[in-house]
Structure formats: structure tokens, C-alpha cells
Amino acid sequence: MGSIPIGATFSPTLLARVGFFFSAFTAKKAYLCGTKFYKCSTEIIYMATFKAEVYAHQKKSDGTYNIKIRVTHNRQKRYLATTYYVTKEDLTRALKLKNQKYIDLTDQLVKKYRNICDRAGERLKDMTVDQVVDLITSDTGEHFDLDIVDYARKYIQKLRDSGHNGNANSYEVAINNLVKFVGRDKISIHEVTSRFIEDWIRWIALQPAGTNRKKGERAQSLYPSQLRAIHNRAKAEFNDEDMGVIRIPYSPFKKVKLPKIPVTRKRALDVVTMRKLAELPYTEIMQPGKNRFNLAKDVFLLSFALVGMNAVDLYYCTDCKNGRITYQRTKTKNRRADGAEISIKIEPEIQALVNKYRDPAGERVFGFYHWYSRMDSFSTALNYGLKKIGKIIGVDDLEFYAARHSWATIANNEAGVDKYTVHTSLNHVDETMRVTDIYIKKSWDFIDKANRKVLDTVKLNIGSVDEPVYLPKQKRILPKQTSESDL
């Protein structure tokens, strides 16, 4: 044959189709199927090769041999077992396949592997032989399955382990509702179709509201939204578009129009109500920290006076120096380059409360974890106490998050703090300022001034933080009666 011109280029697809397979260049010239090539500036992509083989040393006790597929890529070899076993009658003396049945079966398998590599295109040249093996043996959407409930519960546990109990609880409620709808604990990801989701939404709408306020229109949107987040996470984990591995090929939520979530009712307390809460008398306690009414009152006031600090951050924070509590907001620290760090000055109004709950071990700022080993138990205790407080001060269904809402509302409406300062004081991020924030050194002075304005407006009268101790009534002991015999 004649030589091929220098500078000629060949696509891996073309070479594969005509049966050309070649190895890396080791000298200034290389040979491809007997045709002489001169090395040029054009890089040629190295294709993986596949060959069905049987090996004498792998003969099984029953006299059969497993057919292996030898994978060669960049001079490295790996061997893949097949589901096919042959006897000596199916082989030549040189252990080559002669039974046409197995020749056809292995040819189909090799063709499948070649097609997968062909789709990988130029990416193949940067892959190791192990990556090629992983590519051709990965489960495809045809065979792959995933229990979406089990997957969701594992993700929920990760959220709990990282301190995101609020998000974990939201996902758990949604998944439990899904399980109730289907009537079983295992749900294949292939069952989650657009029709499945729409049926679920209609089913939610028909359920009685009960004591859960999220039922109704809000749940019809929230629960499927949380399942969508789980579904998208699974696609991101199990699909590899760069490698051409698509185990979960569909996006059922694209066809589903979720109901709009009703506007959340405002949960803020006004100035007068905040004063009522601060002036509530403590109830008698059996053990410090265990009276949920008193605990809820104190921690609510701490949150309010610390610029709406969340319960999870009060529970976990560890840095208290020079009259300031510095922490990274748990809810957003993993989504922000600055770790959502903020520093709040401890104002005189709450210094006694801070001292009351300081961690005696010194491991954290507050010792709540000594009484409640889990954050969700702490949160439950707070909301239990707040329900009782709410009934007294005339606020239905009072929740802990109202402390944060109250600070923001009073700051803007009563104390004259501008919205941007309120926004920043709550440790939110202005997307339009994200680049600018990189160049500005953080200062907490404006937050301190805003908080001072709020506290001066409310004029909290917390008073003594000592709780009355419960003293059980002593049984009346009657004097011993004297009988005539004792005289």
C-alpha cells in the first residue's frame, strides 16, 4: 500500500468502523494494519480493544472455562468475566472459540463495548484502562434501580449529622407523606413519573388538615418540591454525562406545575407584646434548665436581643470573646464563601441571661447540650414552652422563629433601621453585591448600632433571671396519741 500523507487526521469513530486499532507511538514512525504512518503534529487518539479469550489455568473443577473479555487500552490490560461458560468441545486445541453460538454472543458483547467507547469520543484518550472498564460495565438506565425512600432517608441523616435539623425535619415529613400515599416503605425511582407526582398532589389536597398547618395548598407544593430536590440529587450522583453514563435519564418534575405556596403569615411580635413576654413571671422549677416554659422565655429573649440568632446556632456556637458572640449561621454556611460568619455584641439587657446559661464545661457558649443531647429535642422543648407563653400573651401558635421576625419588623417599622441594614444584620446575602463584598473588610459596627436602636425601642424589662424553686408541701405529722397503758 502507499503511504498516507503527513498531517492526515482520523476520527476515532472512523478508525473503529473500519477495524483499525493501534497503540501509542514509541518512535518517529508507527504502523497501522501494515500501512506506514509518519509521526506528525496531529495527535491520534488511542482506541481500546476487546477480545474474547479462554485461559487454560482458569479451568473449573467441572471442566468448563469462563469466557473472558480482554480489554487493552494504552498498553494496559484488564480481564472481564462474562456469563458464558464453555467446554473443550466448544474450543480448538489452542483454546480458541469454535462454537458459533459463543462466537456470536461474545461478538455482540464486544460490539456493545465498542459502541460505548465510540460515544466517549476524544475523552477516551485521557482515560486509564480502569476507567474504560468502569465506563463499559457501569449500570445504564435500563438496569439501574434506586429506592428513592432509602436514598432520601440517608440524605436526611446526613443533614442531621451536620446540624441541619430543620431541613432534615422538613424532608422527613415530606418523605413520610410520600410513603403514606404509596402504602409501602420502598419506592423505585422509576415509579416517580409526572403522573405519579400529580396523583400525589391530588391525594395531599384531599387529606384532612388536622393539627399540621402544612397540609392543603402549602403541602401540595412543599412536599413535591422536597422530593424534586432529592430526585435531582440522585441524578447528580448517579449520572455522569461526561462519561456518557446516564442511569436516571428522565426529569418528571419538568412536566408538573406545582401549586403556588400561599404567602406565609407574618409571625412577628409588636413592641407591646415583646414587653409582655419579657415581663412574664417564671414558673417554679424542679430542676434548672428542665422547665420548658422558663427555658422558652429566656432563649426567645436571647435570640431577639442577639439579632434573631437561630436556635441551632445558640445550641452549637462556641466563640464568645470580648463581649461578642461570633458564629457561622448553620442554615447558610455551606452555601457561602465567607461561611456566613457574623459577630453580635452582647448588650446589657441580656448579659444576665448569657451568664445564666453559660456552658460550665467551656466547650460551647451555652450549656443547652447538657440538658438536651440532641438539637431537635432542644427545639421541641422551646416550641412546647412557647405554645404556653403564646396563650398567655395572646399569640396563637407562637414559634421560636418569631424572635427573628420580630427583630426585623421592629427594626424597620419602629426603630427606623433601613431595609438593607436589616437584611445584612440577619446575615442574608445580597446577590447584586456578592462581587463587591469580596473587596470590603467586614465591620459589625452598623449591626451593633441597629440592634441598639431596636432594644432602645422595645425597652425590655427582663428583671431577675433567678427561677423560683418548687418546694413540695410537707406532710402534716400528727403528734403520737397517748393511750392509758402508756400512763
The domain boundary, picked from 110, 137, 164, lies at 137
Looking at the DSSP assignment, which residues form a beta bridge with residue 78?
71
Q: What is the pLDDT of residue 115?
A: 85
Q: Same structural domain for residues 283 and 389?
A: yes
Q: Same structural domain for residues 161 and 119?
A: no
Q: Same structural domain for residues 326 and 352?
A: yes
Please check whether residue 263 lies inside any domain of the structure.
Answer: no
Q: What is the pLDDT of residue 172?
A: 95
Q: Same structural domain for residues 71 and 191?
A: no
Please check whether residue 94 lies inside any domain of the structure.
Answer: yes
Q: Same structural domain for residues 244 and 295?
A: no
Q: Same structural domain for residues 57 and 110?
A: yes
The torsion of the CA quartet 235, 236, 238, 244, rounded to 10 degrees, works out to 100
Please check whether residue 469 lies inside any domain of the structure.
Answer: no
Domain count, the chain: 3
Tell me how many degrees the CA angle 201-196-245 measures, rounded to the nearest 5: 125
Q: Same structural domain for residues 321 and 450?
A: yes
Please check whether residue 485 lies inside any domain of the structure.
Answer: no
293 and 285 in contact (C-beta within 8 Å)? no
Q: What is the pLDDT of residue 12?
A: 45
Give me the CATH number covering residue 303.
Answer: 1.10.443
Please check whether residue 356 lies inside any domain of the structure.
Answer: yes
Lookup: cell for 73: 487500552
Q: Classify 229 as helix, strand or coil.
A: helix
| pLDDT tens for each residue of the chain, 487 residues long | 444 443 444 444 444 444 434 333 333 333 333 333 333 334 444 578 999 999 999 999 999 999 999 999 988 999 999 999 999 999 999 999 999 999 999 999 999 888 888 877 777 888 889 888 888 887 654 567 889 999 999 999 998 888 777 788 899 999 999 999 999 999 999 899 999 999 999 999 888 765 444 556 788 999 999 999 999 999 998 887 776 677 888 899 998 988 887 665 667 899 999 999 999 999 987 776 678 999 999 999 999 999 999 999 999 999 999 999 999 887 776 666 666 789 999 999 999 999 999 999 999 999 999 999 888 899 999 999 999 999 999 998 899 999 999 999 999 999 999 998 898 888 776 555 554 454 455 778 999 999 999 999 999 888 888 888 766 665 555 555 555 555 4
299 and 382 in contact (C-beta within 8 Å)? yes
Q: Same structural domain for residues 229 and 169?
A: yes
Please check whether residue 154 lies inside any domain of the structure.
Answer: yes
Q: Same structural domain for residues 304 and 282?
A: yes
Q: What is the pLDDT of residue 73?
A: 93
Q: What is the pLDDT of residue 102?
A: 93
Please check whether residue 167 lies inside any domain of the structure.
Answer: yes
Q: What is the pLDDT of residue 475?
A: 52
Phi, psi of 123 (to 5 degrees): -65, -25
Q: What is the pLDDT of residue 239?
A: 85
The overall pTM is greater than 0.85: no
The domain boundary, picked from 137, 160, 176, lies at 137
Q: Same structural domain for residues 66 and 109?
A: yes
Strand spans (E) along 278-398: 319-321, 324-328, 341-345
The domain boundary, picked from 192, 220, 255, lies at 255
* 289 φ/ψ sector (left φ>0, alpha ψ -120 to 50, else beta): left
Q: What is the pLDDT of residue 466?
A: 87
Q: Same structural domain for residues 377 and 420?
A: yes
Contacts 24+ apart (CB under 8 A), 201-207: 201/256, 201/258, 201/259, 204/177
Q: Same structural domain for residues 103 and 157?
A: no
Q: What's the Rg (C-alpha) of the chain? A: 35
**Residue 237 domain boundaries:** 148-255
Please check whether residue 249 lies inside any domain of the structure.
Answer: yes
